[in-house]
Amino acid sequence: MTKKKRSIQIDKNNFFIRKIYFHKYFILVYYLICTKIIPKGKGGDILKKTAAVLISIMFLMTLLIAVNADAAATYIGAKKCKACHMKQYKSWEATTMAKSFENLKAGVKAAEKKKAGLEDKDYTTDPKCLKCHTTGYGKGGFVSMEKTPDLAGVQCEGCHGPGGDFHQIMKKNKEFPLAEAKAAGLIIPSEDEKGCMTCHGGDSPFIEKVDAKYKFDFKERLKKTHEHFPLKNKH
């Protein structure tokens, strides 16, 4: 009988695996420099030590970049949420949150802008506005309409947090433990009033002093995000 060879698949997206691969390439570079480029002898030994120090610094810098990239939040966009939450998605689509990016365009809500002391111009590239009229701006999410059009407007992840990690948990297990999803970054808006106040607080020009309609009522606002349908599965 012949034994079947096991095929081992390596997840190269895993941070620790990436670290091993980085290490391997730096060792290879050091070997080539020492054996093919640097001459033998006393002077060569000094150059080898210098090369070792420089390569070590380069390795650490590359490692830090990899850590930061790995730690960055991953936004997936409302279209992926829609696959399992179609009713919620359709309900959200009709809200002002879904259309909030449009309000940044010149000529849109011109009277409201004027009343708030704002000039009627295009604000679609203004960082002060983008942080509250898009999803994940400055946090690994929306960048621009050219690069990340699917993250315009205040989408699911604007309130529930970046879904890159907890979305995977939900896909694997429809009855996922809520605590596990929370640990992976899921935010329950009804438990996060402070999260709402980052955009509905003092920095916004549209406040109650400008018009009473801008008065922020946390409980009432939750009802306006989207209709809250009963979930099919227990968590």
Q: Any idea where the domains of the chain sit in the sequence?
A: 15-71, 78-225
Cβ-based burial of 208 (10 A; exposed 0-12, middle 13-18, buried ≥19): exposed
What is the predicted pLDDT for the residue at 203?
Answer: 81
Phi first, then psi: what are they for 10, rounded to 5°? -105, 125
Average pLDDT score over the chain: 81
Dihedral sign of CA atoms 154, 159, 163, 169 in order: negative
Domain 78-225 in this protein, CATH class: mainly alpha
Contact indicator for 151, 134 with CB cutoff of 8 Å = yes
- Find out whether 235 and 181 touch, Cβ atoms under 8 Å: yes
Q: Name the band, by pLDDT with cuts 50, 70 and 90, for residue 229.
A: confident
Helix or strand (DSSP H, E) at 62? helix 42-71
Q: Is the pLDDT of residue 184 over 70?
A: yes
Can you tell me the distance from the alpha carbon of 104 to that of 15, in angstroms, rounded to the nearest whole number? 38
pTM (2 d.p.): 0.68
pLDDT digits (tens, 9 = 90+) for 57-106: 776 666 565 444 445 569 999 999 999 899 999 999 999 999 999 999 99
Residue 46: the pLDDT is 67
Look at residue 17 in the predicted model and tell me its pLDDT: 44
Beta bridge partners of 152: 134
Q: Which amino acid does the sequence have at 72?
A: A
Q: Which tokens in the block code for residue 69?
A: 């990239």
pLDDT, average across residues 171-195: 92
Q: Is the pLDDT of residue 55 over 60?
A: yes
pLDDT of residue 222: 87
Whole-number pLDDT of residue 226: 86
* 88 phi/psi in degrees, rounded to 5: -65, -40
Which tens digits make up the pLDDT trace of 58-67? 766 665 654 4
